Amino acid sequence: MAKFIFTWHNINYSVEERCGSFLNGSKKRKILIDDVSGCAFSGSVIAIIGGSGCGKTALLTLLSGQRKGRGVLKINGRIITGKMLRSNSTYLQQSDVFFENLTVEEHITFKAAMSLNKTKTERELIISLLLKNLSLGHLTYVKIKNLSSGEKRRLSLLSCLFSDPYILFCDEPISGLDSFSATTIVKILIEVASSGKIVFMTVHQPSSEVFELFNNIIMLSPNGKIVFEGSKDNAKTFFESQLLFCPSSYNPADFYLNHIIIKTPNDERKIEDLVKQFKEDYSLKFDFPENGYHGLLLKYKEKENGFLHELKWLSWRVFVNLGRNTEEHYFSFILTVITASILGIVYSNVTLAETSAVQSIQGVLLLIVSELIFIQMYQAIYTFPEEVNIFVQEKELYSPLPYFLSKTVSLIPFALVHSLVFLIIYFTCLPFLTTSKLLLEMYLILFLTSVCGSSLGLCLSALFPTLEYINLFIVPFEILCLVLSGLWIRIHTLSKAFSIVKYISPFYVTYESICIVYWLDVGHITNCSEIDTTTCFENGTDVLGNYDFGQTYERVSNNLIFLIILIIAYCYIGYIGILRKRALYHI
């Protein structure tokens, strides 16, 4: 790898904070990073240390271009944009995010296929080499959820190395690990850097063994200022020049940290003095020796794999993951069977021998429609809130469109199975559902409805930031959809505005279609004169007229076309939603 120098100049970052109550509070700016400059040479590991909340992660995200602040980033003296930097570096997040049910092999096969534009054999060679280097070879077929924290960290690290980045940004790569695992990770990072890369890592409280391994340190004060920046030896000299001598039996990291965190009111002034002193005595003058650093000219790394490749591998991962959640699927299947059976038994005595049965049949038909829509919708709703961290972490790996499509496609098998199971149970239990023609017609309608329910779930899942927001929205939304389904209100009495609102969900069109295919085949219901009811239906067409529903198969075809349009619309809105998530959420 070509030699290079990475510099950062006058980096500043602040956020707006609200003080006081919501009504009479005021906003003020909180400075997280205050005028930070520095440099790093290829081949080096830089540890960023400081007390909790001092801005280590903030600085790392700014240096990696994940967050935008004020200041300039340069490679070999040339300014680089955040986008260009992101495409040439990788960011290892503080917490490991995986599809926990995948095995180590499946996880890295996916990452390698997405990151490398190489043949299967070449990929396998790289994978086995990295597995060996990161001591993960013996865990190839183990599910990720069964790995220890240290093994998970190494696996996350391995995933970051496929793209062969120039710079690796690691947020707390050793936090929560025992001393041995922490040392192993730091040694791996030193090895990675020695191949000509730069590794930045934030560290909370390194052991003396780990601290010994660092050669460059950035120390941050509690208000995001540089207390010290440079080699470990220079740190010792600087602190000693301030009459702060680290006892030989003491962990130097603990010693420095003790002097850069606020424990008493006096400490704030002492830390400010250190900051001031470092600026005066040691601060680097940024006229970098650019001689010898002309080799590397960073370019934006275009994704090498095309749309179809991404869709194929994303769908592969979705289906492998689905295949692993078998217990969940069995549970959902059994619930579907139980619900349908209970409803089937409750309505099993309803026959077309009397007019009053019409109300029950209309009720059952709406129950079938709403059950299916709800089951499919709720199954999809969890998708994005659960996966948003993985999606954001894999931002640079694939485009959002194949990701979204793979999620949509994965819901189709459930739609096929659930709607069929539902109908078979109802046709077995209910005496008024009989012919195979009706079964087929209903299946076609309900399959499309199920897909529509799934895409509505995905859409809501992508639009709202968390499940809590979705839950708040969904109850009034469901009530509105059910009220406008056509069972409880004569559609012609609706105001114009509500006539349009009924089309925002699949309830109305599906219910109307199911009613049409059912009632059009019912020739005779009962003898009206013998029945004391206010509404008398002689045949199925009468029923459809009573509910203001269409009475032709053409209407059903139009409704099916509308369902397809609705599916596309939900997917499109959902896609916009995840584009927004991608832009708003940063690591």
Ligand X SMILES: Nc1ncnc2c1ncn2[C@@H]1O[C@H](COP(=O)(O)OP(=O)(O)OP(=O)(O)O)[C@@H](O)[C@H]1O
Q: Which residues bind ligand X (CB under 6 A)?
A: 15, 17, 30, 32, 50, 52-58, 204
Least gap, CB of 133 to ligand X (angstroms): 28
Radius of gyration, CA atoms only, the chain: 32
Least gap, CB of 219 to ligand X (angstroms): 12
Which residue number, 88 or 93, has a Cβ lying nearer to ligand X? Answer: 93
Residue 245 phi/psi, 5-degree rounding, is: -105, 125
Least gap, CB of 231 to ligand X (angstroms): 22
Least gap, CB of 257 to ligand X (angstroms): 11
Q: Checking phi first, is residue 71 left (phi over 0); if not, alpha (psi -120 to 50) or beta?
A: left
Using an 8 Å Cβ cutoff, are 308 and 19 in contact?
no
Largest CA distance in the chain: 109
Q: How many other C-beta atoms can be found within 10 angstroms of the C-beta atom of residue 152?
A: 19
Q: How many helices (H) and strands (E) does the chain have?
A: 22, 10
Which residue number, 56 or 317, has a Cβ lying nearer to ligand X? Answer: 56
CA distance linking residue 110 with residue 93, whole number of Å: 19
Least gap, CB of 58 to ligand X (angstroms): 3
Residue 11 phi/psi, 5-degree rounding, is: -80, 125
Which residue number, 171 or 542, has a Cβ lying nearer to ligand X? Answer: 171
Which residue number, 55 or 574, has a Cβ lying nearer to ligand X? Answer: 55
246: tokens are: 């680290």
Task: Return the H-helix or E-strand segment holding 218.
Answer: strand 216-220
Least gap, CB of 122 to ligand X (angstroms): 38
CA distance linking residue 264 with residue 390, whole number of Å: 40
Which residue number, 224 or 540, has a Cβ lying nearer to ligand X? Answer: 224
51: tokens are: 């007390």
Which residue number, 13 or 570, has a Cβ lying nearer to ligand X? Answer: 13
Q: Are strands 26-41 and 5-19 parallel, antiparallel or unpaired?
A: antiparallel
Which residue number, 17 or 124, has a Cβ lying nearer to ligand X? Answer: 17
Distances (CA, A) of 280 to 34, 273, 562: 16, 11, 71
Q: Please give, one letter per residue, the 3-state secondary structure of 190-212.
A: HHHHHCCCEEEEEECCCCHHHHH
Using an 8 Å Cβ cutoff, are 38 and 218 in contact?
yes
Distance from the first to the final alpha carbon of the chain = 27
Least gap, CB of 229 to ligand X (angstroms): 16
Which residue number, 70 or 138, has a Cβ lying nearer to ligand X? Answer: 70
Amino acid at 25: G
Which residue number, 60 or 340, has a Cβ lying nearer to ligand X? Answer: 60
Least gap, CB of 343 to ligand X (angstroms): 49
Least gap, CB of 175 to ligand X (angstroms): 8
